[in-house]
Every structure is written in structure tokens, then in C-alpha cells.
Amino acid sequence: MSATPTFCDIGIVEVEFGRNVTVVRPANLYGCRIGDDCFIGPFVEIQHGVVVGARTRVQSHAFICELVTVGEDCFIGHGVMFINDWFRIGRPARGRPELWAPTLIGNRVSIGSNATVLPVKICDDVAIGAGSVVAADIEKPGIYLGSPARFVRSFEPDPPAAKT
């Protein structure tokens, strides 16, 4: 017995692009908004309704699902996964988007490679370490690591400008 599969082509459909955006194909972008001066790497999927703020870089193999908003001047590392389903009914809420939850990423947020971000809010000026799992809101700027991601330290102050 041989069945014929259904094929869905990867593509860029109904995307609102800002100025000076670079997209490396193949990429699967549909129904989303990408701000000015953004970079979208290869093998990225950005789903319907997602907003990516200006000057944000999304590296290869990242997955940004529906209900995610990413601020300006952010960095989304290779293989970062966003999740919009808390599995509150004990299994995936397929076909029941009313059970999904939003994710809000502030400005100047850097998310390291292979991190997983559940439906949370992350304030401005945060760095998430590679491989971390963000399972709770982050309300304090700084560096977060681990599974679950926990506050490690504040950022070092910028060094004073050199006198000329």
C-alpha cells in the first residue's frame, strides 16, 4: 500500500517587512511583521501574528510561534524555540488557540542558542544563557542561566569612556 503525502512548500507569505531587512532562504515566514534593519537567518520559522522589533537578529533554526512579540535590538540565537502552549489540559492544545498564551520579549534582550522560552514576559536588558529554559516572567534586568532560568548577576557597568 502506498499513499500520497500532502506537501507544503516553505515560503514567505503575507509578511510586513520594514526597511533594510535581510532574510536568508530557506525561511518559513507567514503573516508576521518584521521591523526595520532586521536579520532573519536560514531555516527560521516565524508564524502568524508575530512581531519582531527593529534591529533584531534571528539566527538559524529558530522557531517563533504565534502570540510572540520580540522587542527592538534583540538577539535570538541559533535553535531558540518559543512555546505558546502550557499543556494545561495534559496534552497539546491542538486546534484550541484559546488555551495558548502570549510571550512578550522586551528591548535589548539576548537569548542564547538552544534556549526554550515558554509563554512569559521578559523585561528590557536581559541576557538568557544558551540552553536555558525560561519558564517564569523575568522582571529584573541581568543575566539568567539554567533550567529553569535563574538570575545570576546584573550586567557589569560600562567602562568609562577613554579621555582624548
Distance in angstroms between the alpha carbons of the first and the last residue of the chain: 78
Q: Which domain holds residue 22?
A: 12-86+98-153
61 neighbors 44 (Cβ within 8 angstroms): yes
Residues 21, 26, 28, 30, Cα dihedral to 10°: 50
The share of the chain scoring above pLDDT 70, in percent, equals 99
* Residue 19 counted as domain residue: yes
* Residue 3 counted as domain residue: no
* Residue 158 counted as domain residue: no
The share of the chain scoring above pLDDT 90, in percent, equals 85
CATH number for the domain spanning 110: value is 2.160.10.10
pLDDT for position 111: 98
* Residue 91 counted as domain residue: no
Kindly report, residue by residue over 25-77, the tens digit of the pLDDT. Answer: 999 999 999 999 999 999 999 999 999 999 999 999 999 999 999 999 999 99
47 or 162: which carries more pLDDT confidence?
47
Kindly report, residue by residue over 129-147, the tens digit of the pLDDT. Answer: 999 999 999 999 999 999 9
> C-alpha angle 51/56/58, rounded to 5°?
85
88 or 119: which carries more pLDDT confidence?
119
Q: Which has the minimum average pLDDT: 47-56, 61-70, 80-89, 114-123?
A: 80-89
* Residue 109 counted as domain residue: yes
* Residue 82 counted as domain residue: yes
Three-class DSSP labels, 67-128 = CEEECCCCEECCCCEECCECCCCCCCCCCCHHHECCEEECCCEEECCCCEECCCEECCCEEE
Mean pLDDT of the chain: 95
- Domains: count for the chain: 1
For residue 142, the SS3 value is strand
Rounded CA-CA distance 56/28 in Å is 17
